[in-house]
Amino acid sequence: MKSKRPIISKSHTKEWVPRGYIVVHSSSPGTGLSQGCPTVGGDNESLAPKAVIDWLCGRGKGFTTPDGNEAVVADWCTGKVGMTGTSYNGTIPLAAATTGVDGLEAIIPIAPNTSYYHYYRSNGLVRHPFGYMGEDIDYLYDYIHSGNESKREFCDCMVRDKEMANGFDRKNGDYNDFWAGRDYLNDIKPLKAAMLMAHAFNDWNVVPEHSVRIYEAVKAKGVPTQAFFHQGGHGGPPPMKMMNRWFTRYLHGIENEVEKDPRAWIVRENAERTQPTSYGDYPNPDAKPVNFYLTGAAPQRGSLTTDRPNEQATETLVDNFSFSGAALAQAEWTNHRLIYVTPKLTQPIHLSGTPSITIKLASNRPAANLSVWLVSLPWSTNRQAKITDNIITRGWADPQNYRSLTESEPLVPGQFYEMTFDLQPDDQVLPKGQQIGLMIFSSDRDFTLHPNPGTELTIDVGATSLRLPIVGGKAAFSKATTEPATKK
């Protein structure tokens, strides 16, 4: 039976060859017909595509077989290379670019995984991607390890069972040297390739912070960069016209002034993905942070306002992973979550940027999950409802990491701790008639581990606040919650 390892998708060939490009596919270490071992973000996965680019540009040697001496020269290459791909295949272009290799002129990473810590952890908390209960980096290693079977045992022993097993610290979830070595933000200094980054704000597999953190760093370097965001899930490239315009400028050298285009392109909630709206940047330059404060009413819904209330009492929730986040958000009365809602919007509100929460809490046990959702209410149960109709953004944290990501410590039951952490970046226009809801709970059955129910989290309501990036700032929010609804 013929091996399936050499089979590679021809989609890029169909898209790009008719547009005047040559398409080259290469396999990452430990996959397909490549040599070596997969490391899931290790240095070899950056150096391998660099070696291919060195060969394309005439600096490296290539042969027809790994142990042969019949040379292959890429004399058809102009010396200008671009890279694109989605998910893991979107990570590889970024990985190659962080080497600073000459000849790599432009990249278009689509939903790339830019930090494996941020893929499997969140603010110190062990967390899995949506739909992959309990998965960790060793599982992903097994999933992609499709290379030569005769070398599997060696790779499994050296990488999965030693380096990974000794490094990923599934017990504490702390950021350590193992994770730092798989975080491309730490390797960004040599990058010089023009970058068009693409991601979805509702990607709960590779969450949007993966692209936003790299986009901000590359922009700060002064390297040409643009961002394309849409409202869907994992994957989704920019429109072909936009991608072709990018590669035309940097690979063909056509002065089409793409670098002068608006920096951010965002698909609005009801638009087709091929029809993004342009903005000066992301986050929206007109967005300003607005602080929101809580008034408790547990186990019912409390309120969320921009006015700091008088002294507040504490409120307690009881962890139970049996209840989904959607069920908790819809519940009028439950002790398994705390929820605080704004007045009903009489006009749309545009959120753009990264929300954050400062929370003061105590646990009755030495460890606890902490989950935060920002939801749009009333919750739509319509079968045709889009995710943006209900979910604004989410975030997770380990209270044991209240001091830092690199060191956790057991909680003293009953003692209050304060921590501040970001939720996932977003850009969303909330329609009039909705309310913004801040929901605080413990175990998120779709993302966190499932401890035995019963852990109690007590929130100091008066010392807890939410910061939202709102286009137009506090004035825009006040106008949208106090003035009568406008007619279209």
| Digit-coded pLDDT (tens) for 284-294 | 999 999 999 99
Q: What's the CA gap between 131 and 80, in Å, rounded? A: 39
CA-based radius of gyration for the chain = 24
Q: How does the average pLDDT of the chain come out, rounded? A: 95
Stretch 70-84: mean pLDDT = 97
Q: CB-based contacts of 249: which residues, under 8 Å, 6+ apart?
A: 106, 194, 255, 256, 258, 259
How do the domains of the chain map onto residue ranges? 11-279, 287-482
3-state SS of the chain: helix, strand, coil percent to 5?
A: 25, 25, 50
Task: Give the residue among 426, 314, 305 at the shortest CA–CA distance from 362.
Answer: 314
Q: Which of 147-156, 197-206, 349-358 has the lowest mean pLDDT?
A: 147-156
pLDDT in tens, 367-406: 999 999 999 999 999 988 888 999 999 999 999 999 999 9
Is it the case that residue 76 has pLDDT exceeding 70?
yes
**Contact indicator for 389, 380 with CB cutoff of 8 Å:** yes
pLDDT band, residue 486 (cuts 50/70/90): low
87 is catalytic: yes
Q: Please state the separation of Cα 34 from the chain's center in Å.
A: 28
Burial state string for 434-461 with b = 16 or more CB within 10 A and e = fewer than 16: bbbbbbbbbbbbbbbbebeeebbbbbbb
* % of the chain beyond a pLDDT of 90: 92
pLDDT in tens, 398-429: 999 999 999 999 999 999 999 999 999 999 99
Residue keyed to tokens 């903005």: 279
pLDDT in tens, 317-343: 999 999 999 999 999 999 999 999 999
Q: CB-based contacts of 462: which residues, under 8 Å, 6+ apart?
A: 293, 294, 309, 311, 312, 313
**Contact indicator for 242, 266 with CB cutoff of 8 Å:** no
Task: Give the residue among 50, 181, 31 at the shortest CA–CA distance from 107.
Answer: 50
> Which H helix or E strand runs over 440?
strand 435-441
> E-strand spans in 342-433?
349-353, 356-363, 370-377, 391-397, 417-422, 426-430
Is it the case that residue 4 has pLDDT exceeding 80?
no
Q: What is the DSSP letter of 175?
A: -
Let me know if 191 is exposed, middle or buried by CB neighbors in 10 A (0-12, 13-18, 19+): buried
Residue 1: per-residue pLDDT: 38
Question: Catalytic residue among 234, 352, 363, 444, which?
Answer: 234
Residue keyed to tokens 């979830």: 173
CATH ID of 287-482, from 2.60.120.620, 2.60.120.260, 3.40.190.10, 3.90.1150.10: 2.60.120.260
pLDDT in tens, 109-153: 999 999 999 999 999 999 999 989 999 999 999 999 998 889 999
145 is catalytic: no
> What are φ and ψ of residue 30, in 5° steps?
80, 10
Task: Give the residue among 377, 388, 382 at the shortest CA–CA distance from 434.
Answer: 377
Q: What's the CA gap between 25 and 252, in Å, rounded? A: 20
The CATH homologous superfamily to which domain 11-279 belongs is Alpha/Beta hydrolase fold, catalytic domain (3.40.50.1820)
CATH topology identical between 11-279 and 287-482: no
234 is catalytic: yes
Question: Catalytic residue among 87, 303, 356, 380, which?
Answer: 87
pLDDT band, residue 181 (cuts 50/70/90): very high
Is it the case that residue 2 has pLDDT exceeding 60?
no
Is it the case that residue 211 has pLDDT exceeding 60?
yes
> Which H helix or E strand runs over 125?
strand 125-126
Q: What's the CA gap between 274 and 412, in Å, rounded? A: 52
Residue 10: per-residue pLDDT: 82
Question: Catalytic residue among 54, 138, 174, 203, which?
Answer: 203
* % of the chain beyond a pLDDT of 70: 98
Is it the case that residue 347 has pLDDT exceeding 90?
yes
Residue 19: per-residue pLDDT: 93
- Residue 263: CA count within 13 A, CB half-sphere: 16
Residue 311: per-residue pLDDT: 84
Is it the case that residue 488 has pLDDT exceeding 70?
no
Q: Which two tokens stand for residue 202?
A: 């509702």
Residue 11: per-residue pLDDT: 83
Residue 148: per-residue pLDDT: 87
Q: What is the DSSP letter of 343?
A: P
**Contact indicator for 174, 401 with CB cutoff of 8 Å:** yes
Residue 312: per-residue pLDDT: 86
Q: Looking at the chain, how many residues does it have?
A: 488
